[in-house]
Structures are given as structure tokens and as C-alpha cells.
Amino acid sequence: MTAERTITIECLRYNPETNAEPSYVVYRVPFTDDMSVLEGLQHIKDALDGSLTFRWSCRMAICGSCGMMLNGVPALSCSTFLRDYYPDGLRVEPLTHFPIVRDLVIDQTDFLRKLESVSPQLAPAQPKTIAEGPYRQTPAQMDAYYQYAQCINCLLCYAACPQYGLNSAFTGPAALALLHRYNADSRDDATAERMDVVNADVGVWGCTLVGYCSEVCPKGVDPARAINQNKINSTKDYFLHLLTPRKG
């Protein structure tokens, strides 16, 4: 066993009961080559400072709990490794553009509201009974929406999106990608019902194609594409309703 190395992890701390402002605390953490940043934080909590607070669960980049800013870049702490920040060390902060609840934990309630607002349920034109079995869907049809269905709700895209940071009324990348996931699903027929969300100023038009969301997404969802291809749909919808006014 070679001599263990030590790395500096600087964490943004904030305690709503005692602090007015967040501040940084530095920890020195012994690490091995295969240790993730999450494991580094767990070491701090277990051995150095039990009050360091952060979310985590699956440890394998599928639950979406452990999103944080690592040297100013949104990332999942469970699948980023301390060895890649050695010897300079790293700074860990909670995801930007969200209010801080405590230390590295952010308030995700706005996102949950956004998620609900896009009507993320399958609404077939002719609903089948269970006895009639599954809907048919070819691999090609699934391909049309599949990547948008990979979102783990980790919120890295919201931390990446400056438009969301400047105006939190913006529906945002993940929610709009999920909206598109349902629109593009051949079994769904509720695209028209979702247009109000799409067409809004805080819908697809709140996006200026910075594109950082797709860059940081750990699952290749490409929310930038989901949003921006819907600008075409939104425009078509606008002119369609200009010529043939919407009923009711």
C-alpha cells in the first residue's frame, strides 16, 4: 500500500440557524485513486466534521441526489474523482441558481413545481384497457423520445442555465425536456394541451441557447435540443392560431 495522498477540499458552509452569510471551510482529506468526491465528503462527515450536510443516495449516478458545483462546474459528486483535482484541491459549493437550505443542500421545490407543470403523463388518443395489452411502439418510434426519457432530475442543467438564474420563473431545461419526451412519444396525444407551457415567455422562449445545460448533463438528455426544436413548433402553433383562432 503506497503512502496515502491528501487533498484540500474547500466547502461552502451555511447554517440557517446561526449564519447570516455562507462562508468557506477547508478540510484536508486523505484519499486513494478510486475515491469519488462524494466519498471525500463522507470522510469529512464521518471523521472530521459531522455537521457537513449534503444529499446523496445511490452512489452510481442514477438517483440524481448528489449534484454540486465542483470548482465552479455543476457535476455529480458520486462520479467525479478526487484524483482529478490533485494536487490543486477543489472547491465544493451547492448548485448555483438555487437557494441554499444548508451547506451543500439546495431548495428543489421550484423544480418539483416545474416538473408538475408540464403534464408529464402519457395521454393516448384512444386509451386501451389492460386486457387489450400494451400499445405497439417500434424501436424507431422509441428512438424519437428515448434520450429525453433518461433525465435523472439531478438539476445540473438548472445550475448551468443563466436564464434560470436570472429569472426563476423560467420553466427550465429538465422540465421542458420532459415535456418534449411526452410530445415525442408516439403513444401520446396531448401535445396540444402542453402548448401553453411551450409557448409562454418562460417556456421555450425563455431560452437563449446558451447550451451549457446539454454540456453538463450526465445522461446525454440534451435539453437544449428539446427546447430549441420546440421553438419551431411554437412558431408554427402561433401562426396556425393566428389564421385559425383556437376554440374556447
**Interface positions, 49-78, toward other proteins (CB under 8 A):** 49-51, 53-65, 72-73
Regarding 102 and contact with other proteins (CB under 8 A), the answer is yes
Regarding 200 and contact with other proteins (CB under 8 A), the answer is no
Q: Which helix (H) or strand (E) holds 226?
A: helix 223-243
Site string for other proteins, 103-122 (x = CB under 8 A): x-x-xxx--x--xx---xxx
Which span sits near other proteins by CB under 8 A: 3-11, 46-54, 195-203, 236-244?
Answer: 46-54
Regarding 46 and contact with other proteins (CB under 8 A), the answer is yes
# residues near other proteins by CB under 8 A = 93
Regarding 125 and contact with other proteins (CB under 8 A), the answer is no
Regarding 5 and contact with other proteins (CB under 8 A), the answer is no
Burial (CB count within 10 angstroms: exposed 0-12, middle 13-18, buried 19+), residue 156: buried
Query: Residue 196 and residue 200: Cα distance in Å, rounded?
Result: 6
Give the one residue of 16, 87, 245, 248 binding other proteins; rule: CB under 8 A.
Answer: 16
Question: Which three cell numbers, joined as nine digits, stand for 246?
Answer: 383556437
Query: Residue 220 and residue 37: Cα distance in Å, rounded?
Result: 21
Query: Identity (one letter) of the amino acid at 102?
Result: R
Regarding 10 and contact with other proteins (CB under 8 A), the answer is no
Contact predicate 28/6, CB 8 Å? yes
